[in-house]
Structure 1
Amino acid sequence: MSVILATATQLNEHGLLLAAEEFHTPSLKDFFPPAVLFEGTVFELNRITIMRVVISVLVAAFFALALRSAKLIPRGVQNVAESMIDFVRINIAEEILGKENGRRFLAIIASIFFATIFLNLSSIVPFLNISSNARIGMPLVMAGVAYITYLWVGIAKYGFFGFIKSSIVLPGVPLAIQPLLIPIEFISTFILRPFTLTIRLMANMLAGHIMLVLFFAATQYFLFSGTWHVVFAPFALLAGVGFTFFELLVIGLQAYIFALLTAVYIDQSLHADQH
């Protein structure tokens, strides 16, 4: 690591190492990938956006084809698809919301779960090498869907002002303390909640991407350095491979946490008067 920092190497948008003499201070444009398709139009797409579209279409096509002519006794691809959906239904939706509400909101919770996990998987796929959830766009969209569902459920049950009151006024708390707690509850419930959902997913996937880049960039540097540093190449490679398996765990865990929190927020909305 110290050798890499000392040589001030970095990765450009194509994943190639830049030497120290080519290093430049990043500008705002460096944080946005260049357009790949339809550049200069309103339909401009960069590599990250194309990954999102392709993966989303593939996931939707998989479930549509697997369940297009469902049999009473599932087998083959249908069995795989139903097992995946049952995992979300039993272990997340029904576990938090109960059977009736679990089935009612299964579509939203399952969509968030599968979108998160499959978009995250691209971080360990060769030539893709990054989760599109490592950029704020898609986590923000999914957090927005979860948050809007949370608001819609609560407002539909209690009415707008009734839901706001039930969410921010704590029952059983002395009246004198309420002016202090109400602003805190309002900020944490209606402002920070979608923000924390977004940042939790994005930050974890971005951190994993950076770690993988460092390990494999170090492997490349040590291997082709032409000096005694080549002895460190196998260790850097092993660390990269090991962290790839750890990243697989993080991928599944982040999808589970995002879907679980969505279910928890919906449940809180359904029982806002009991919080």
Structure 2
Amino acid sequence: MTLASTLAAASGPPAPGPHDFNLPSILPWNGSTSWGVNFGLEDGFFISKPMVLVVLSLIIVIALFAAAARPAAVVPGRLQFAGELVYGFVRDGIARDNLGSKDYQRFVPFLFAIFAFVFVNNYYGLVPFVQFPVMSHIGFPLAIALVTWVIYNGAGIARHGFVGYLKHETVPGGMKGPILLLLVPLEFLSNILLRPITLTLRLFATMFAGHLLLVLFSLGAGYLLLHSDNPLAIPAGIASGILFVAISCLELLVMFLQAYVFTLLAAMYIGEALADEH
């Protein structure tokens, strides 16, 4: 018997994997309503947990910062201070540093929105009874990355014109001659086509891997402590539980860093598109 078949035959907790991210629908719907209206959804329609969490994140962000901005006191309270701290961090630490004092202000709302949105949806992964980072579903970071792609390319075209922007993004400054036959396609691929993909994969893969590790060690600890008869199960289960707590603490930092890095790269791409020279 091979090692793989032995492991497959052994009893144990279900192995975590991509299937853990395919959550069952909360509200399945076949496209028909109780009053006889059919919306033509032949394959049906459903509302899933990530959909609910995304809508809830919008409500949370809008409600929190609306409440923080409402007093507008000279001496801010705790909520206003926290709101101003986050806004100032994005405005001064990300937007101003990467876009310059001339252009940064008009892009602050967008950068602030994606930072807050990604931040909240990342931290769902550590909220009890929720425990699912929405950005571990690739469709959500892909949508934000595509919006970012449209904005930075649109800003560059508005500044330089369509042809001028293509030249700006694909022809490195000071480069001439036959080497451009190699550099121009590479620059076009890197700066125009691949950026939304790399933005998406960086955020998605980190959230996916982190959540998978948490599932692995939590399931392992539960099985080893509660269901295994092996004499080594208890110390192994305790070790698995400790690793679960340690990775959860690490995820507190990683989730913030991913929101920051995504917003920082968006600001860098916008700043590069607006710059006078590539």
Aligned counterpart, 1:274? 277
Assess if the C-alpha contact under 8 Å between 2:13 and 2:223 holds in 1. no
Aligned pairs for 1:82-121 (under 5 A) are: 82-121=84-123
Does residue 36 in structure 1 map to residue 26 in structure 2? yes
Aligned counterpart, 1:64? 66
Question: For each residue in 1:39-81, what CA deviation from the matched residue of structure 2 results, as whole angstroms up to 9, or x when unmatched?
Answer: 3336621011111111221111111122124223322311111
2:250 is aligned, of 234, 246, 250, to 246
The AA in structure 1 aligned to 2:271 is D
Q: Secondary structure at the match of 1:167?
A: helix
Q: Distance in 1 between matches of 2:248 and 2:13?
A: 22
Q: TM-score, normalised by structure 2?
A: 0.86
Question: Alpha-carbon deviation of 1:201?
Answer: 0.2
The AA in structure 2 aligned to 1:196 is T
Alignment CA distance shift 1:34-1:121 (3 Å): same
Question: Alpha-carbon deviation of 1:180?
Answer: 1.0
Alignment CA distance shift 1:232-1:32 (3 Å): closer
The AA in structure 2 aligned to 1:32 is N
Question: Alpha-carbon deviation of 1:29?
Answer: 8.2
Does residue 49 in structure 1 map to residue 51 in structure 2? yes
Question: Alpha-carbon deviation of 1:93?
Answer: 0.9
Q: Distance in 2 between matches of 1:29 and 1:247?
A: 21
Unaligned segments of structure 1, at least 5 residues: 13-25
Alignment CA distance shift 1:77-1:159 (3 Å): same
Q: Distance in 2 between matches of 1:267 and 1:173?
A: 21
Question: For each residue in 1:95-133, what CA deviation from the matched residue of structure 2 results, as whole angstroms up to 9, or x when unmatched?
Answer: 112233222211011111111111000111122222000
Alignment CA distance shift 1:71-1:166 (3 Å): same
The AA in structure 1 aligned to 2:56 is V
Q: Secondary structure at the match of 2:204?
A: helix
Alignment CA distance shift 1:40-1:29 (3 Å): farther
2:239 is aligned, of 235, 253, 262, to 235
Assess if the C-alpha contact under 8 Å between 1:4 and 1:218 holds in 2. no
The AA in structure 2 aligned to 1:263 is A
The AA in structure 2 aligned to 1:35 is S
**Runs ≥4 residues deviating over 3 A:** 2-9, 28-32
Unaligned segments of structure 2, at least 5 residues: 32-40
Assess if the C-alpha contact under 8 Å between 2:15 and 2:216 holds in 1. no
1:226 is aligned, of 229, 235, 245, to 229
Q: Secondary structure at the match of 1:44?
A: strand
Q: Distance in 2 between matches of 1:220 and 1:251?
A: 25
Q: Secondary structure at the match of 1:175?
A: coil
The AA in structure 2 aligned to 1:241 is V
2:213 is aligned, of 201, 211, 214, to 211
Q: Secondary structure at the match of 2:26?
A: strand
Task: Among all aligned residue pairs of Structure 1 and Structure 2, give the percentage whose two residues are the same amino acid.
Answer: 36
Q: Distance in 2 between matches of 1:169 and 1:101?
A: 23
Assess if the C-alpha contact under 8 Å between 1:116 and 1:133 holds in 2. yes
Does residue 261 in structure 1 map to residue 278 in structure 2? no
Q: TM-score, normalised by structure 1?
A: 0.87
Assess if the C-alpha contact under 8 Å between 2:159 and 2:274 holds in 1. yes
Aligned counterpart, 2:37? none
Q: CA RMSD in A?
A: 2.3
Alignment CA distance shift 1:29-1:91 (3 Å): closer
Q: Distance in 2 between matches of 1:10 and 1:270?
A: 51
